[in-house]
Amino acid sequence: MLSFWALTALLAVAAWIWLRLKGPRSRLPPDLRGPTPASWILGNQPEVVLSEAGEANRRWKAQYGAVYKYYGCFGDEYLVLNDANAVQHVLKGQTTSYLLDKSLREFLRLVTGEGLIWADEADHARQRRLLSPAFNTPFIKSLAPTFAACAFRLVTQWNQRIETEGDDKGGWDVEAYHWMELLTMESLGLTAFGVKFGSLEGNQHPLQTAYTGLIGSAYSHPSKLSIALGAAVLHIPAFIVHHLQKLPLPGISKFKEAQRVGRKFADELMAKKRRLLETNHVLQDRDFITVLVQAGEKNQKGKLESMPDEEIYNNLTTFWVAGFETATNASSFALIELARNPDMQQRLASELIGILGGAADRDLSDGFSTDEVEQMPYLEAVVNETLRCHGPIHSGLFRAAGDDLIPLSNPITTRDGKLNSIRVQAGQSIICSFDGCNRWEEVWGPDADQFRPERWLRAEAKEIEPDKQCGGVYANLATFGGGPKACIGYRFAVLEVSVFIAAIIRDFEIALSRPDWELGRDGSYIGTIPMERGRWQGGGRCPLRVRRRRSVM
Ligand code: HEM
Ligand SMILES: *[C@@H]1O[C@H](CO)[C@@H](O)[C@H](O)[C@H]1NC(C)=O
Ligand SMILES: *[C@@H]1O[C@H](CO)[C@@H](O)[C@H](O)[C@H]1NC(C)=O
Ligand SMILES: *[C@@H]1O[C@H](CO)[C@@H](O)[C@H](O)[C@H]1NC(C)=O
- Dump pLDDT digits (tens) for 329-379: 999 999 999 999 999 999 999 999 999 999 999 999 999 999 999 999 999
Distance between CA atoms of residues 226 and 12, nearest Å = 11
The type of residue at 2 is L
Q: Which residue has the higher pLDDT, 551 or 28?
A: 28
Average of pLDDT values for 216-241?
76
Output the CA 293–ligand 2 centroid distance in Å: 12
Q: How far apart are the first and last CA of the chain?
A: 65
**Contacting residues for 445 by C-beta, under 8 A, at least 6 apart:** 455
Given the DSSP bridges, would you call strands 472-474 and 477-482 parallel, antiparallel or unpaired?
A: antiparallel
Mean pLDDT check: name the lowest of 97-101, 208-212, 298-302, 522-526. Answer: 208-212
Output the CA 486–ligand 1 centroid distance in Å: 7
Output the CA 330–ligand 4 centroid distance in Å: 10
Distance between CA atoms of residues 455 and 254, nearest Å = 48
CB 230 less than 6 A from any atom of ligand 2: no
Mutate to test the pocket of ligand 2, among 307, 310, 318 (most ligand atoms within 8 A of CB): 307
Residues 530, 336: contact at Cβ < 8 Å? yes
Nearest atom within ligand 2 for CA of residue 118: 13
Whether the per-residue pLDDT at 1 is higher than 50: the answer is: no
pLDDT band at 259 (very low <50, low <70, confident <90, very high): confident
Residues 219, 525: contact at Cβ < 8 Å? yes
* Tens digits of residue pLDDT in 476-504: 999 999 999 999 999 999 999 999 999 99
CB atoms within 10 A of CB 520: 18
Nearest atom within ligand 1 for CA of residue 124: 41
What is the 3-state composition of the chain as percent helix, strand, coil, each rounded to the nearest 5? 50, 15, 30
Q: Rounded to the nearest 5°, which phi and psi values hold at 474?
A: -130, 120
| DSSP calls for 526-539 | SBEEEEETTB--SS
Average of pLDDT values for 163-175?
95
Average of pLDDT values for 171-199?
95
Residues 379, 348: contact at Cβ < 8 Å? yes
Nearest atom within ligand 4 for CA of residue 530: 2
* Tens digits of residue pLDDT in 28-83: 888 899 999 988 889 999 999 999 999 999 999 999 999 999 999 888 899 999 99
Share above pLDDT 90 across residues of the chain, in percent, rounded to a whole number = 61
Q: Please, what sign has the CA dihedral across residues 65, 92, 393, 253?
A: negative
Whether the per-residue pLDDT at 398 is higher than 50: the answer is: yes
CATH architecture for segment(s) 4-548: Orthogonal Bundle (1.10)
CB 482 less than 6 A from any atom of ligand 1: yes
For residue 78, the SS3 value is strand
Mutate to test the pocket of ligand 1, among 480, 491, 494 (most ligand atoms within 8 A of CB): 480
pLDDT band at 241 (very low <50, low <70, confident <90, very high): confident
Whether the per-residue pLDDT at 9 is higher than 90: the answer is: no
**Contacting residues for 119 by C-beta, under 8 A, at least 6 apart:** 95, 127
